[in-house]
Structure 1
């Protein structure tokens, strides 16, 4: 089955949080779209669905999964896949994405998205899981580059080659998380600009921006993908560089911890939107993946 590519959103969106439901509905702010973690809406009803339904009636929606453990060795959870498909049918999201990571082992669930070795064996597992997911929901997904804190000595691919090969074999698209690039490259002593110069942006259907924490110690600096503060200046600079070259890729601001007042998050959205508007003018219109 060839994965179905659904319509894409335009402009900058924001992660939707319960603390902001009422203000968004009352003020209908200038936001291109909203994104939610589907795992937070897998119950049958209740206030979360009431609010999400009202917001979906006014804005496009995207789903960004955190619980499928795409990179793990165990089979995907069929009940989870069924619940995800029900959400997709209910809310008709413009995009569905997941992480290149693993988070389960022998029935245990970890409260983190963990790194995986980039080997031929892991590639086969990820390809099989992406194929299964896309077949189950009847559409192409976007796969996100991870934030990592360790590397594996037995890796035989670098991250970009691994992601590109997954996309080639499955027909999925990519979600470029620029904050994750900054975090991983800093932690491993790599150049984020060099990483982004090699990234296949023609496959990127979405960009994520977020804040990170910094820990300075005797052994150097560690960045943590914390999603608990504004986007860092270095990440803004990388973002401007990417969209200047690739065009106005739909972008989303993530802020999952220490949730701010809505005007603070909206300010981040407006800043990204201004950058996208400049790229749109330079590239002669909105940009879509191939």
Structure 2
């Protein structure tokens, strides 16, 4: 679990320019520039916003002006998508430097990346590709996470993947692999519940069993998103983590299971394609907030009973 004290210690050598808000119990949404006017007209939201780091790696311009406007009054979660944490080659030093600069510039409440790879030589793929779960891969991932955390001077969160293929070379389960990463690096975890459902459906295992074995104590943020269905060459259902639809009922049920077990963890609604207007995206975040609020009331009642 990422604690506020960890972030405070990492930033003690410079004064914060933005408010340092705790995110426990809050639901948020992806920040999209087309929503800026509607968000500002809506008054100060009670949740938070997440942005993809790679959309802000230029020095200035409209993207930064919009993000600075949002960040003045709202917590932000910074989510990287191109670090290639699981890649076979060393991290791109220029990319890592730009990532660090964004952390310093916007002082996000949470910083995260994916358990995936997306580079080969000098080629960058517009995808988050899977990797085999082996001791050699574990060593490489842990080394890369250590480099990121050293650069940003704070713990990061690592997101579980959505996968469409599995490797015969894997010698560990995904949950054991992720558990080992958290133990060795001290990083937190970002649990994407939609990714769990997508992967479980594609590979034919139980999403509930996966979550029962997931190291929930290390989770500092949850993602929820929509997915799309299609059929593979054999006529079997294949789910795609598309982020272009409302959260599915089955994913909401899994999310309630996680919150019941792990508590009111900050939760983010991802929506990156066929984006609705702000009221539509806000309604999805409100549905997550309602589940978090029920858990918060339960925790509060239990505390009063003990007292």
| Aligned position for 1:248 | 264
- SS of 1:5's equivalent in the other structure is helix
State the shift of 1:29 in Å.
5.3
Deviations 1:104-147 (A, max 9, x none): 00110101000000000100000000000000110100000000
RMSD: 1.4
State the shift of 1:148 in Å.
0.1
| Aligned position for 2:11 | none
Q: Cα distance 1:210–1:223, how it changes in 2: closer, same or farther (>3 A)? A: same
Give yes or no for the alignment of 1:208 onto 2:223: yes
What CA distance in whole angstroms lies between the structure 1 residues aligned with 2:50 and 2:126?
A: 20
Runs of 4+ in structure 1 deviating by more than 6 angstroms, as ranges, are none
What CA distance in whole angstroms lies between the structure 2 residues aligned with 1:23 and 1:13?
A: 15
What CA distance in whole angstroms lies between the structure 1 residues aligned with 2:208 and 2:235?
A: 23
What CA distance in whole angstroms lies between the structure 1 residues aligned with 2:290 and 2:50?
A: 20
Structure 2 gaps, min length 5 = 9-21, 302-307
| Aligned position for 1:228 | 244
Range that drifts further, 125-134 or 28-37:
28-37
TM-score, structure 1 as length reference: 0.95
What CA distance in whole angstroms lies between the structure 1 residues aligned with 2:6 and 2:127?
A: 29
**Number of residue equivalences:** 283
- SS of 1:227's equivalent in the other structure is coil
Q: 1:273 aligns with which of 262, 268, 289?
A: 289
| Aligned position for 2:173 | 158
What CA distance in whole angstroms lies between the structure 1 residues aligned with 2:44 and 2:229?
A: 32
What CA distance in whole angstroms lies between the structure 1 residues aligned with 2:219 and 2:299?
A: 16
What CA distance in whole angstroms lies between the structure 2 residues aligned with 1:202 and 1:220?
A: 35
What CA distance in whole angstroms lies between the structure 1 residues aligned with 2:51 and 2:73?
A: 15
Range that drifts further, 204-213 or 6-15:
6-15
Range that drifts further, 112-121 or 8-17:
8-17
Give yes or no for the alignment of 1:192 onto 2:207: yes
What CA distance in whole angstroms lies between the structure 2 residues aligned with 1:55 and 1:243?
A: 28
What CA distance in whole angstroms lies between the structure 2 residues aligned with 1:281 and 1:5?
A: 27
State the shift of 1:216 in Å.
3.6
| Aligned position for 1:172 | 187
- SS of 1:147's equivalent in the other structure is coil
Equivalent residue runs for 1:39-188 within 5 Å: 39-188=54-203
| Aligned position for 1:237 | 253
State the shift of 1:234 in Å.
0.3
Q: 2:23 aligns with which of 9, 12, 27?
A: 9
Deviations 1:27-46 (A, max 9, x none): 22534100000100011111
What CA distance in whole angstroms lies between the structure 2 residues aligned with 1:156 and 1:219?
A: 29
- SS of 2:125's equivalent in the other structure is strand
What CA distance in whole angstroms lies between the structure 1 residues aligned with 2:36 and 2:45?
A: 14
What CA distance in whole angstroms lies between the structure 2 residues aligned with 1:113 and 1:179?
A: 15
| Aligned position for 1:27 | 42
Contact persistence 1:215–1:223 (CA under 8 A): yes
Contact persistence 1:216–1:222 (CA under 8 A): yes
State the shift of 1:205 in Å.
0.3
